[in-house]
């Protein structure tokens, strides 16, 4: 994506703004709420939204593909480019509210398919440093960093 462009998610709409903050295009996801946005090295725009949705747009704002979880109360939240695919965090808070003790999950996707998944600490921020996948959580003692994968 050009450095003079800015993606701005607001509720159920993603806006692409030019260097003068004018709307180039907008994409509405009614009734979904956008949780996170990232751009891959090819310029495709990845969105996670409520109702466990991953959506991919091209740089013109046209939908390329989408994938939603078929069942359950998990939600895709954070999304980051990783290698030749992307990582997404599945927030399982709704299950914990029903009595489950499960951690969240981080999934690696490539070619529109989930390739693997691993446990991910609750409420942690997903960070990529080189080829390392890290979970950074804030605790009373400070920050706790967990290595998810080398």
Give the model confidence (pLDDT) of 45-100 as tens digits: 999 987 778 999 999 999 999 988 765 677 888 999 999 999 999 988 877 888 88
Q: Are 16 and 6 in contact (CB under 8 A)?
A: yes
DSSP assignment of 13-74? EEEEE-TTS-EEEEEE-TT--EEEEEE-TTS-EEEEETTTEEEEE-TTS-EEEEEE-SSSS-
Q: Which tens digits make up the pLDDT trace of 94-131?
A: 778 888 888 899 999 999 999 999 999 988 999 999 99
State the CB neighbour count (10 A cutoff) for residue 79: 22
pLDDT of residue 140: 87
* pLDDT of the residue at 57: 96
Identify the structural domains of the chain with CATH numbers, from first to last: 6-122 (2.40.128.630)
pLDDT on residue 142: 87
Q: Give this prediction's pTM.
A: 0.85
Residue 14 is predicted with a pLDDT of: 95
With beta carbons less than 8 A apart as the criterion, state whether 110 and 84 touch. Answer: yes
């Amino acid at each position: 994506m050009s450095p003079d462009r800015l993606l701005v998610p607001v509720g159920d709409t993603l806006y692409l703004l030019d260097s003068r903050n004018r709307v180039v295009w907008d994409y509405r996801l009614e009734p979904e709420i956008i949780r996170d946005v990232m751009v891959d090295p090819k310029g495709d725009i990845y969105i996670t939204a409520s109702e466990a949705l991953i959506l991919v747009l091209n740089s013109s704002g046209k939908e390329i593909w989408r994938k939603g979880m078929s069942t359950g109360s998990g939600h895709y939240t954070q999304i980051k480019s990783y290698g030749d695919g992307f990582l997404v965090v599945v927030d399982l808070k709704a299950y914990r509210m029903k009595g489950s003790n499960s951690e969240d999950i981080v999934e690696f996707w490539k070619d529109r398919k989930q390739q693997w998944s691993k446990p991910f600490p609750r409420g942690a921020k997903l960070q990529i440093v080189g080829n390392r996948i890290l979970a950074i959580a804030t605790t009373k003692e400070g920050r706790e960093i967990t290595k998810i994968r080398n």
